[in-house]
Amino acid sequence: MFNEISHQDKIILPDLSFWACHGVLPQEHEQKQEFRLGVTLILDTCEAAESDDLADTVDYGQVYRQIEKIMMGERHNLLESLASEIAHMLLADELVQAVTVRLEKCAAPLAPMFNAPAILEITRTVADYGL
């Protein structure tokens, strides 16, 4: 899948946490719940390694702020839709060649009186979004 990628260097943000309203059920539209998110960005960091300049790599502080904007923004019914929007946004950076988004709804209401984590992980490349 990553044949076209010259280097598979990674920037990993493993454990981001957000309280937000996403989900299909009516109570999920109004009551915030915890989501944990991990992202792995695949990119070539050779230029940044040489220059030691932030402009030559991905600023993970900015990545966090972009993810936060999506997580706290428009509500999504499905984790699939939410993870895809995050992946698409991260791949808009021309340095990022592929991204994996791991999204966990920490207490998904699976049945009355039973909450359990629901986890989705997707991997996308620039080709998946025609970028």
The active-site residue, picked from 10, 32, 69, 105, is 105
Q: For residue 71, how many C-alpha atoms fall within 13 Å in the half-sphere facing its CB?
A: 22
Count of beta carbons in the 10 Å neighbourhood of residue 18: 16
CA distances from 15 to 25, 38, 43, 126 (A): 25, 5, 20, 24
Token pair in block for residue 110: 């699976």
Encoded amino acid at 105, one letter? K
Does residue 10 carry a catalytic annotation?
no
Instruction: Read off the DSSP letter of residue 57.
Output: S
Catalytic site residues?
105
